[in-house]
Amino acid sequence: MFVDQVKVYVKAGDGGNGIVAFRREIYVPMGGPAGGDGGDGGDVIFEVDEGLNTLMDFRYQKHFKAKRGENGMGKGMHGRNAEPLVLSVPPGTTVRDVNTGEVLADLIEHKQRAVIAKGGRGGRGNIRFASARNPAPEISENGEPGIERDIQIELKLIADVGLVGFPSVGKSTLLSTVSAARPKIADYHFTTLQPNLGVVDTADQRSFVLADLPGLIEGAHEGVGLGHQFLRHVERTRVILHVIDMAATEGRDPYEDFITINKELEQYDPTLLERPMIIAANKMDLPEAEEQLAFFKEQLDEDYPIFPISTVTKEGIRDLLFAVANKLDEIPKNYKPVEEQEDRVVYRFEKEDKAFSITRDPDGAYVLYGEKIEKLFKMTDFSRDESVQRFSRQLRGMGVDNALRERGAKDGDTVRLLDYEFEFME
Is 17 among the annotated ligand-binding positions? Answer: no
For 158-187, the DSSP string reads --SEEEE-STTSSHHHHHHHHSS------S
Is 283 among the annotated ligand-binding positions? Answer: yes
Is 93 among the annotated ligand-binding positions? Answer: no
Is 51 among the annotated ligand-binding positions? Answer: no
Q: Say if residues 59 and 6 touch (Cβ distance below 8 Å).
A: yes
Is 41 among the annotated ligand-binding positions? Answer: no
Distance between CA atoms of residues 159 and 90, nearest Å:
13
How many H helices and E strands in the chain? 7, 18
Is 77 among the annotated ligand-binding positions? Answer: no
Which pairing describes strands 196-201 and 148-155: parallel, antiparallel, or unpaired? unpaired
Is 192 among the annotated ligand-binding positions? Answer: yes
Three-class DSSP category at 399: coil
Is 208 among the annotated ligand-binding positions? Answer: no
Is 284 among the annotated ligand-binding positions? Answer: yes
Three-class DSSP category at 245: strand
Is 61 among the annotated ligand-binding positions? Answer: no
121: CB partners within 8 A, 6+ apart: 15, 40, 41, 143, 144
Q: Say if residues 114 and 95 touch (Cβ distance below 8 Å).
A: yes
Is 199 among the annotated ligand-binding positions? Answer: no
Distance between CA atoms of residues 129 and 395, nearest Å:
18
Is 191 among the annotated ligand-binding positions? Answer: yes
Is 173 among the annotated ligand-binding positions? Answer: no
Order of strands across the sheet that contains 113-117: 85-89, 44-48, 113-117
Is 363 among the annotated ligand-binding positions? Answer: no
Is 310 among the annotated ligand-binding positions? Answer: yes
Is 194 among the annotated ligand-binding positions? Answer: yes
Is 145 among the annotated ligand-binding positions? Answer: no
Distance between CA atoms of residues 284 and 150, nearest Å:
51
Is 35 among the annotated ligand-binding positions? Answer: no
* R_g of the chain computed on alpha carbons: 31
Is 200 among the annotated ligand-binding positions? Answer: no
Is 156 among the annotated ligand-binding positions? Answer: no
Is 262 among the annotated ligand-binding positions? Answer: no
Q: How far is the CA of 285 from the CAs of 249, 304, 308, 314, in angstroms?
A: 12, 22, 10, 10
Is 215 among the annotated ligand-binding positions? Answer: yes
The annotated binding site is made up of: 165-172, 190-194, 212-215, 282-285, 310-312
- Residues of each annotated binding site for GTP: 165-172, 190-194, 212-215, 282-285, 310-312
As annotated, the binding site for Mg(2+) includes: 172, 192
